[in-house]
Amino acid sequence: MIKNKKILLGVTGSIAAYKSAFLVRLLVKAGAEVKVIMSQSATDFVAPLTLSTLSKNPVLIDFQKDKTGEWNNHVELGLWADVMLIAPASANTIAKMANGLCDNLLLATYLSARCPIFLCPAMDLDMLAHPSTLHNLQKLQEFGNHVIEPKEGELASGLFGKGRMAEPEEIVVSLEHFFESQKQAKKLHGKKALITAGATREYIDPVRFISNNSSGKMGYAIAEELAAQGAAVTLISGKTYLSIQNSHIHKINVETAAEMFEATVAHVADNDIIVHCAAVADYTPKEKASQKIKKKENDLTIELVKTKDIAKEVGHLLQPHQFHVGFALETNEEIKNAKEKLQKKNFDMIILNSLQDKGAGFEHDTNKVSIIDKTGQIIDLPLKSKKEVAQDIVRLIVSKLPKT
């Protein structure tokens, strides 16, 4: 997928800049044409001569090439590239990108680029976790940029945590998946997909509710991947801080299980693919207090009643051309329980999460799943980012869609 692609690599001032040499080598080996732009501070960590030798192109650092006044044209560079990849992306560069600052050739090229932008953050764990950095990364994603998540491990500071730049091999795989999704986009052209995501809230009184730890990350990743593959997507979302990036996703916000039930059932008939990824409450208070419940001396008992089973109801409404996908989060007898749910709710495919797997399930940026289809075939996927898991899931959906 990378062969003959034009990749513009931006290298910024981070200790992880040493990985850029390995990254350039892998990209060139895969058949890509690579040009490198470095920030001035990046040259303190890796020699431009190294990257120039590996890329077989001059490394660009400043606007002016030499004393004659000849210049490196940032506009032409931005138009030349199929992808601009910034690896490593330091906290400083991320902040400048998010706020439109333009004080070097790399940033001027970023602001001029019309191609997709990928960035690979690399910094110490406290810098990455700082609200300003998280806000800047969110802004960049809202602009449509792609973030290849940093990994956990030992950092240059000696601390252990999240902040390591993704390994060059992982970055190359992410680019391959991106180019593959572009090539395959027409496979879902003309298709419509409905997906639920996030957690529901079942209110006890006006300020208290029963919910769960679902962040919505997996559902949003699937919605984005379905849209990337050409589908018109309706996303029915519970409460979440996440935002959508693709303009082909129509988002419907709900709060309660009852609201999600109504919205889902109302849209089922119009869609070719239905994916239930939301963590929907199984029970809701029988009565919701109209005023805030005050603390009393005695214990408080709340009577709960079952909510409507959205996936089961949709299973009864399916037409032959529709493909029905569910999720199962289990803590014991995982495969057995998932297979029972697949049959009971008329799923064509079910994705199993186990809370026994480290790094999988709620709130994590990664997931480890097993995919079971109607024939009983089981595909076990290793721990991956939720974006990569979403790509695998959508790829399987595409391969199993009923022929029309």
282 is in an annotated binding site: yes
The contacts found for 41-46 with CB under 8 angstroms, 24 or more apart, are 41/12, 41/13, 41/90, 42/11, 42/12, 42/13, 42/14, 42/17, 44/13, 45/13, 45/14, 45/15, 45/17, 45/18, 46/11, 46/17, 46/18, 46/20, 46/21
- Cβ contacts of 209 within 8 Å, gap of 6 or more: 201, 202, 203
CA 273 to chain centre: 20
Query: Does residue 241 contact residue 291 with C-beta atoms inside 8 Å?
Result: no
Of 73, 212, 337, 346, the catalytic one is 212
270 is in an annotated binding site: no
292 is in an annotated binding site: yes
- Which of 180, 233, 182, 241 lies closest to 215 in space, CA to CA? 241
Q: Is 136 a catalytic residue?
A: no
In angstroms, the CA 88 to CA 263 distance is 42
Write the DSSP symbol of residue 268. Answer: G
Query: Does residue 389 contact residue 367 with C-beta atoms inside 8 Å?
Result: yes
3-state secondary structure at position 58: coil
In angstroms, the CA 123 to CA 92 distance is 10
What's the token pair of residue 56? 């077989």
Query: Does residue 53 contact residue 24 with C-beta atoms inside 8 Å?
Result: no
In angstroms, the CA 387 to CA 224 distance is 9
Q: DSSP states of 142-197 as a string? A: HTT-EE---EEEE-TTS-EEEEEPPPHHHHHHHHHHHHHHHHHGGGGTT-EEEEEE
151 is in an annotated binding site: no
Handedness of CA 239, 94, 165, 21 (dihedral sign): positive
Query: Does residue 258 contact residue 307 with C-beta atoms inside 8 Å?
Result: yes
Give me the helix-helix angle, 168-184 and 386-400, nearest 10°.
30
Query: Does residue 7 contact residue 34 with C-beta atoms inside 8 Å?
Result: yes
Annotated binding residues, as ranges?
Answer: 282, 292, 327, 341, 345
Instruction: Show which residues are catalytic.
Output: 212
Binding site feature residues for CTP: 282, 292, 327, 341, 345
